[in-house]
Amino acid sequence: MVLLAQSETPSEASVEFPPVPSHVALAWHDLSAGLIRYWMWWTLAFQDIKLRYRGSTLGPFWLTLSMLFLSVGMGVIYSHLFHTDAQTYMPYLTMGLIIWQYINTLTGEACQTFMMSESVIQQVPIPFSIHAYRVVCRNMVVLGHNLLIVPIGLVVFHIHLGWNIIEIVPAVLLLAINGIWTCMLLGMLSSRFRDIAPIVGSIMQISFFMTPVIWPADALGIYHWLADINPLFAAIDVLRAPVLGVAPARWSWPVLIVFTILGSGAAFALFARFRSRIAYWV
């Protein structure tokens, strides 16, 4: 009896309804369908930048300029405070600030990934990942503008780049991947729980002081392991060191790779489970 009932119902239903793909397949499809619509997130990201600087003469180059002022101003004072020579400290500080600004802004905006696009999510069924790619792309463009001061620094401080400058390619790629999962994860969490954004904000504020951004990691002495296991330091170091013509710290690459895998895995699991709920949350 039971067997008969089971065999009858699905055959009737399957006439019109194809089998529902698994949560994992749907989540994967969302990510890839979003990625191939590069023109959509690319255009949206550039539109965001254009809107932000509408009516200003320098446009996004204000970022470049203000970063230049900040690093010169801080560089002069802090090299005195840390008793290091400005020659080595200034490039270190500038790169640290530029990469930190990328990480910090991205993390903050990640919380708004889906909430900012609420009206779009409620109107048109485009892949959710588009919104994450848009946030990362926008911040990468800003990072690119800030990095324009690097050539000036290379000349002024006589930095000789080594072969390991090619390391910046995988470094930027990993920064982007970490940006994407951060946007998916924090975007979902903070559209469900509205107090995630302020929590993330204060964590990032504390992290700035605990991470060797403006102070050298070697200053930690026997506590150097604190920097070694810090994924934020790893993320900064893999991009900063090649530009300064030195090798990254020994643990930076392994730590960042492990962090990327763990983060992506967690974000993907959560996305697969709750993808269909995002439209209800925002």
Partner 1 sequence: MAFIRLRDVSIEFPIYSGSTRSLKKMLLSTSTRGNIGRDERRRVSVQALTDIDLDLDHGDRLALIGVNGAGKSTLLKVLAGIYEPTRGRFHAEGQVSALLTASVGLNTDATGRENIVTRGMYLDIHPRVMRRHIDEIADFTDLGYYIDMPVRTYSAGMIIRLCFAVATAFPPEILLMDEWLLAGDAAFLAKARKRMEDFVAGSSILVLASHALPLLEEWCNRAILLDQGRIVASGTVAEVAARHQAGTG
Closer residue to partner 1 (CB): 78 or 274: 274
- Interface positions with partner 1 (CB under 8 A): 13, 16-18, 20, 37, 39-40, 43-44, 47, 51, 54, 119-126, 192-196, 199, 276, 279-281
Q: Please check whether residue 141 is in contact with residue 45, taking contact to mean a CB–CB distance below 8 angstroms.
A: yes
248 DSSP assignment = P
DSSP letters, 245-257, are: TSPPPTTHHHHHH
Q: Please, what is the minimum distance in Å from the beta carbon of residue 121 to partner 1? A: 7
Q: Please, what is the minimum distance in Å from the beta carbon of residue 165 to partner 1? A: 35
Q: What are phi and psi of 195, to 5 degrees?
A: -95, 10
Q: Please, what is the minimum distance in Å from the beta carbon of residue 139 to partner 1? A: 20
For residue 133, give the 3-state DSSP assignment.
Answer: helix
Q: Please check whether residue 181 is in contact with residue 264, taking contact to mean a CB–CB distance below 8 angstroms.
A: yes
Closer residue to partner 1 (CB): 16 or 85: 16
Closer residue to partner 1 (CB): 6 or 123: 123
Q: How many Cα atoms sit within 13 Å of 233 on the Cβ side?
A: 25
Q: Please, what is the minimum distance in Å from the beta carbon of residue 199 to partner 1? A: 7
Rg (CA), the chain: 23
Closer residue to partner 1 (CB): 43 or 66: 43
Closer residue to partner 1 (CB): 52 or 224: 52
Q: Please, what is the minimum distance in Å from the beta carbon of residue 277 to partner 1? A: 8
Question: Tokens standing for 40?
Answer: 């959509």
